[in-house]
């Protein structure tokens, strides 16, 4: 019967080809899925690198932060008044952006005081939430530091006072409320504090070297607070991290002193630029697009021993440097942040901004330039000759990984390290997780002894308070601590990638008189009065760092 064959062999001749077809279809589907994933991965990876090279129309004059007014009281104390406030600012978004500022709607004025001067800053808050104001890079008593323990509540005034006791330098201030630092800085709370050289009897060779440097504020001595931001379509600041970012927000818009697309009219043959990386997470690799050399004259903590010619300045978040740039009459020169080797694996580097290119600022030289003096050959500041290595009395190791230092997250009630006043120590700091971290220590300026056993690069041979951590390579710091003792008020050390800091990558040290003890735990203020603060006080409950709206 013609119909018998199929029933005689019910499966073999018909199902085998069917199974093959099914297997082939499954194989095809898998191949398609893999191809789509690979393509998507490639697209995501490719889009992970950002470039604004040649796309920024430098059409706004660079804003210069105003100098903060001050008065000198009868006892010689120079007094500043700062008010943290809310406002709206034109950040080039076609309408006002809600922002925070100090004595204004965005960023704050530049404070200036001389080495040796006594200062007081009356910090008032008209914010709707608790914050703090920390003097980054300043040597001062811990209770004046403005860290997470010196909270300023809405409507309150906090008045730290101290005597400036360190070389002339470009320092800065910013909030440091535990768990909210990234948010408060991102929305605009930051400004510069310039320590000026001492005069008269106390002045040394480094102080004197400043006389031969460009020093006309806003003319040939120009601060550049560099920050990357991103925006929602309606103009509000957007602090959402890009896809796969482990460092938090990486913006596509660079603001300099709050100015988008800025140009600076240069009227002198040389201009000194005081650079601050005020970004939350982005490491900057600054250089001019024409590859010209600049003279690096100062690092975080003041002048170098002599000018260093270089075409690149790397600044991790919180870092400062001062450079002197020569210009030709009538020319234009563009400062750019170039792609860089962050030392991580390529995927982490890509999603941490390492491959990004961002145009920063255009210098526009006038057709006739006022003459500038020659740069001094020596600056008499800090250099390759590191003093006192043999005098180090302790070595401490700090291992950064995940959201922890030495396996612990920030606990405001825990004293992690006790240091003797005036002691010199070696701190060995290592980022262990192949991610982007840096390391900042309050109250001190340190020397970088070596990085992975090798001499530090030229741009790390001066005083630093913040240093990028090459992943997996130990950075050894020689740190001399101050004389201000306080066994129950700690200073901080932490990663200055602000999201990491907020998540708890921070520890606390106290400075005590030699031979004195400090408690293992201290009282922390009642957090019930500080909404948005870490209720557990132990860093286990990091708050959302996204803006709340």
**Residues engaged in binding ligand C2O (CB under 6 A):** 134, 136, 174, 176, 318, 440, 442, 492, 494, 496
Q: Which is nearer to ligand C2O, 336 or 496 (CB)?
A: 496
Q: Which is nearer to ligand C2O, 459 or 465 (CB)?
A: 465
List the Cα angle 233/238/240 in 5-degree steps.
125
| Least CB distance to Cu ion at residue 385 (A) | 26
Per residue, the 3-state secondary structure of 273-297, as one string, reads EEEEECCCCCCEEEEECCCCCEEEE
| Least CB distance to ligand C2O at residue 135 (A) | 9
Given ligand C2O, Cu ion, none, residue 500, with its beta carbon under 5 to 8 Å by kind, binds: Cu ion
118 CB burial (10 A radius; 0-12, 13-18, 19+): middle
Indicate the residue whose CB is closest to ligand C2O: 136
Tokens read off for 467 = 């240093």
Contact pattern from residue 478 through residue 507 relative to Cu ion, giving x for each residue in contact according to CB under 5 A and a dash for the rest: -----------------x-x--x-------
Given Cu ion, ligand C2O, none, residue 338, with its beta carbon under 5 to 8 Å by kind, binds: none
Given ligand C2O, Cu ion, none, residue 180, with its beta carbon under 5 to 8 Å by kind, binds: none
| Least CB distance to Cu ion at residue 322 (A) | 18
Q: Which is nearer to Cu ion, 90 or 428 (CB)?
A: 428
Q: Which is nearer to ligand C2O, 134 or 180 (CB)?
A: 134
Among 442, 484, 494, 530, binds Cu ion (CB under 5 A): 442
Q: Which is nearer to ligand C2O, 112 or 494 (CB)?
A: 494
Tokens read off for 109 = 């004025």
| Least CB distance to ligand C2O at residue 316 (A) | 11
Residue with the two structure tokens 């960023």: 107
| Least CB distance to ligand C2O at residue 492 (A) | 5
Q: Which is nearer to Cu ion, 414 or 437 (CB)?
A: 437
Q: Which is nearer to ligand C2O, 239 or 362 (CB)?
A: 239
Given Cu ion, ligand C2O, none, residue 497, with its beta carbon under 5 to 8 Å by kind, binds: Cu ion
206 CB burial (10 A radius; 0-12, 13-18, 19+): buried
Edge-to-edge strand list for the sheet holding 191-196? 111-114, 191-196, 169-174, 134-136
Given ligand C2O, Cu ion, none, residue 176, with its beta carbon under 5 to 8 Å by kind, binds: ligand C2O
SS3 label, residue 42: helix
Q: Which helix (H) or strand (E) is 448 found in, with range?
A: strand 446-451
Cα–Cα dist 407/401, whole Å: 8
Of 117-176, binders to Cu ion (CB under 5 A) are 136
Given ligand C2O, Cu ion, none, residue 318, with its beta carbon under 5 to 8 Å by kind, binds: ligand C2O
SS3 label, residue 127: coil
Q: Which is nearer to Cu ion, 338 or 437 (CB)?
A: 437
| Least CB distance to ligand C2O at residue 175 (A) | 9
Per residue, the 3-state secondary structure of 338-400, as one string, reads CCCCCCCCHHHHHHCCCCCEEEEEEEEEEEEEECCCCCCCCCCCECCCCCCHHHCCEEEEEEE
Cα–Cα dist 490/507, whole Å: 9
SS3 label, residue 516: coil
Given Cu ion, ligand C2O, none, residue 495, with its beta carbon under 5 to 8 Å by kind, binds: Cu ion
| Least CB distance to ligand C2O at residue 506 (A) | 8
Among 112, 437, 494, 530, binds Cu ion (CB under 5 A): 437
Residue with the two structure tokens 């306080």: 486
Helix residue ranges, H only, 169-226: 181-186, 205-209
């Amino acid at each position: 019967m013609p119909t018998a064959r199929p029933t005689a062999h019910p499966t073999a001749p018909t199902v085998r080809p069917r199974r093959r077809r099914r297997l082939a279809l499954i194989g095809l589907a898998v191949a398609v899925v893999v191809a789509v994933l690979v393509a998507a991965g490639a697209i995501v990876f490719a889009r992970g690198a950002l470039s604004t090279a040649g796309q920024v129309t430098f059409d706004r004059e660079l804003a210069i932060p105003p100098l903060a007014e001050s008065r000198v009281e009868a006892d010689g104390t120079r007094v500043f008044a700062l008010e943290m406030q809310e406002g709206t600012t034109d950040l080039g978004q076609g309408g006002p952006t809600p922002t925070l500022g100090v004595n204004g709607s965005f960023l704050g004025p530049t404070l200036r005081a001389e080495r040796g001067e006594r200062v007081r800053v009356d910090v008032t808050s008209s914010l709707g939430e608790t914050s703090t104001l920390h003097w980054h890079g300043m040597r001062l008593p811990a209770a004046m530091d403005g860290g997470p323990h010196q909270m300023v509540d809405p409507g309150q005034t906090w008045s730290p006072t101290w005597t400036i006791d360190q070389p002339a330098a470009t320092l800065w201030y910013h909030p440091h409320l535990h768990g909210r630092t990234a948010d408060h800085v991102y929305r605009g709370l930051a400004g510069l504090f310039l320590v000026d050289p001492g005069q008269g009897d106390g002045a040394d060779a480094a102080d004197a070297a400043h006389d031969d440097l460009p020093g006309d504020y806003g003319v040939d001595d120009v601060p550049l607070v560099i920050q990357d931001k991103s925006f929602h379509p309606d103009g509000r600041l957007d602090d959402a991290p890009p896809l796969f970012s482990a460092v938090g927000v990486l913006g596509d818009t660079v603001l300099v002193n709050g100015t988008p697309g800025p140009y600076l009219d240069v009227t002198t043959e040389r201009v000194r630029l005081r650079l601050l990386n005020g970004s939350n997470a982005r490491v900057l690799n600054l250089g001019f697009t024409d590859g010209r050399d600049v003279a690096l004259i100062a690092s975080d903590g003041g002048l170098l021993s002599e000018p260093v010619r270089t075409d690149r300045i790397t600044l991790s978040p919180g870092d400062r440097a001062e450079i002197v740039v020569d210009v030709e009459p009538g020319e234009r020169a563009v400062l750019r942040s170039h792609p860089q080797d962050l030392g991580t694996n390529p995927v982490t580097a890509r999603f941490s901004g390492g491959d990004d290119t961002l145009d920063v600022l255009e210098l526009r030289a006038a057709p006739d330039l006022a003459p500038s003096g020659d740069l001094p050959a020596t600056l008499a500041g800090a250099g390759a000759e590191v003093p006192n290595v043999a005098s180090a009395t302790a070595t401490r190791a700090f291992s950064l990984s995940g959201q922890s230092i030495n396996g612990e997250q920030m606990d405001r009630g825990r004293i992690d390290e006790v240091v003797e006043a005036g002691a010199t120590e070696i701190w060995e700091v290592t980022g262990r997780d192949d991610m982007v971290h840096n390391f900042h220590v309050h109250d001190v300026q340190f020397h970088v002894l070596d990085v992975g056993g090798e001499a530090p690069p030229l741009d790390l041979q001066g005083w630093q308070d913040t240093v990028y951590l090459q992943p997996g390579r130990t950075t050894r710091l020689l740190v001399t601590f101050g004389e201000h003792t306080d066994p129950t008020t700690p200073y901080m050390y932490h990663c200055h990638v602000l999201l990491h800091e907020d998540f708890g990558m921070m520890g606390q040290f106290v400075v005590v008189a030699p031979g004195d003890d400090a408690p293992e735990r201290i009282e922390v203020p009642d957090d019930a009065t500080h909404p948005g603060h870490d209720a557990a006080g132990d860093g286990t409950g990091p708050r959302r760092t996204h803006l709340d709206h």
